[in-house]
Structure 1
Amino acid sequence: MSPATGIEKFKRWLNEAKLPADGRLPPERTLAERFNLSRSQLRKILAALEVEGRIWRHVGRGTFVNKRGLPPSKPNIDDIANRTSPPEAMQARMMIEPEIARLAALHATTAQIAEMRQLSQKMRDAKTWPEYEDLDWRFHNLLAEASSNTLLKEIQYLLNGVRRAVVWGHLNNRPVGPPEDYHSFAEHDELIDNIAARNRLGAAAAMQRHLNSTASTLVNDEDRLSLA
């Protein structure tokens, strides 16, 4: 099933499904089985629908239908992803995410910082790349929420969805899961520590170092794939 077909099929189901009063969707495992999708395929569909405004997700609570309606001006994440290269996605991240980290150090709540630490630990425990990918996606969206800047949050949701499709989808021949010494583990912890300490310059610098390291890893992975 193509991503576009999967999204349209899921939208039709959302329009017809009898959901609880709070709009909570069934667990991912149930949805993946219902639509005959892998967990990774399902998460990409959910990411696209969240960017469109059809659903929203809360770490630890689940996925919910957006009952406020679909804003007509939401960008099409698939269309943007099809026209974006991995270097372009990384360039946009380097322009936006350090500022988000700086604002998160100023505005993040104690509960949001605790969620960041929980996600960081779960990433260390991830056994597969799709599992890590989903947690990493949630982590960076949570940083945007912690910035308390509505426009930056919406931009980050779009950027995060595009880079997930462009970058992670580009590296689907990697080993089973992240190694114990994967560079992002320590980098995420450093970022959280600076946010918790309300060190705005430190948080921005930590994010910049994280993105530089990620960009270097991306280039190395591309080189390995080209030789495979």
Structure 2
Amino acid sequence: MKTRRMFWLIAEKIENLIDSGLYPPGSRLPPERELAESFDVSRPTIREAIIALEVMQRVEVKTSSGVYVLENPKQKEQETLDKVSAFELTQARALVEGEAAALAAQSITAEELSALESTLNVMKSGVGAEAADREFHLIISKATKNHAILLAVENFWELRDTLPQVKNAYANVCSQSDKDRLLEHQAIYEALKGRDTQAARLAMHAHFNRLINALFDMSEAQALEEVRKKTTQTRDLYSLNHLLAKH
């Protein structure tokens, strides 16, 4: 137990040195002997620490070459997340949730239909509509009886609620379309209630298609506003009005 605690401690120290920039991605760690002397531990402890770092995908051991530092997988993941746009997320949701609705139409229970109807009533009231929206989609995902689909949809909502670029875009669009959203959810509900696979898929696609178009409209409006601001700034810069005002 003591040995295990020691090599994890050394692995953590080496990882901290990597994160500090002392050993950047692509660089080679010092030889095992030097690391052992530097941390005042045995070489077997260093070997165990390196194995731990390899499992964590922080280093790569190349036979007869040495131990090389890899890019931080968490940083790579974050860089990928930063590139996810509201358009990409909405398209992905449409593809997955369209099929989820079609599948759910075959297996949804009376209890799940009742739960969906309850979320519609909440949306109609206007109080707690956002939470009801999320619950509506998750109920359908659960109704598929497919845990992988449920996990995917839960992850989509996590991205929707945590990625700033997506969260802001959705907030601007959803706040202006409560009526449309309610009608679209009602159409999805009726298709599921009727056990109509194709209608459920189309209703879900229609819901996301309207959302994508709304996102484009918002993006265009923002772009036009940005152009207007730049034009105004340029006009002010080169305007001769201040000279004419003297006469």
For Structure 1 versus Structure 2, the TM-score category normalised by the shorter chain is 0.5 to 0.7
- Which among 202, 220, 224 is matched to residue 199 of structure 2? 202
CA-based RMSD: 2.7
Query: Which residue matches 2:168?
Result: 169
**1:148 pairs with 2:145:** yes
Q: Structure 2 regions of 5+ residues with no counterpart? A: 1-73, 227-247
**1:97 pairs with 2:94:** no
Decide whether aligned partners of structure 1 residues 189 and 171 sit closer, same or farther in structure 2, where only a CA change above 3 A counts.
closer
* 1:1-228 to 2 correspondences below 5 Å: 79=78, 81-127=81-127, 131-166=128-163, 167-172=166-171, 177=175, 182-226=179-223, 227=225
* 1:45-81 alpha-carbon deviations (Å, 9 max, x no partner): xxxxxxxxxxxxxxxxxxxxxxxxxxxxxx99x9464
Decide whether aligned partners of structure 1 residues 170 and 178 sit closer, same or farther in structure 2, where only a CA change above 3 A counts.
closer
C-alpha displacement of 1:161: 1.6
C-alpha displacement of 1:222: 2.9
The answer to whether the 8 A contact 2:108-2:192 is kept is yes
One-letter amino acid matched to 1:168 = K
Which of the pair has more CA radius of gyration? 2
The answer to whether the 8 A contact 1:133-1:168 is kept is no
Decide whether aligned partners of structure 1 residues 135 and 153 sit closer, same or farther in structure 2, where only a CA change above 3 A counts.
same
TM-score by length of 2: 0.53
Decide whether aligned partners of structure 1 residues 105 and 184 sit closer, same or farther in structure 2, where only a CA change above 3 A counts.
same
The answer to whether the 8 A contact 1:101-1:143 is kept is yes
C-alpha displacement of 1:171: 4.5
Report the Cα distance in structure 1 between the residues aligned to 2:188 and 2:194, rounded to whole angstroms. 10
* 1:177-211 alpha-carbon deviations (Å, 9 max, x no partner): 5566x211111001001101110111011111111
TM-score by length of 1: 0.57
Decide whether aligned partners of structure 1 residues 87 and 121 sit closer, same or farther in structure 2, where only a CA change above 3 A counts.
same
Report the Cα distance in structure 2 between the residues aligned to 1:146 and 1:152, rounded to whole angstroms. 10
Identity, % of aligned pairs? 21
C-alpha displacement of 1:142: 1.2
One-letter amino acid matched to 1:215 = I
One-letter amino acid matched to 2:213 = S
The answer to whether the 8 A contact 1:126-1:178 is kept is no
* 1:75-104 alpha-carbon deviations (Å, 9 max, x no partner): 99x946434111110121122111000011
Q: Structure 1 regions of 5+ residues with no counterpart? A: 1-74
| Larger RCO, structures 1/2 (Cα 8 Å, 6+ apart) | 1
Paired residue total: 148
One-letter amino acid matched to 2:99 = E
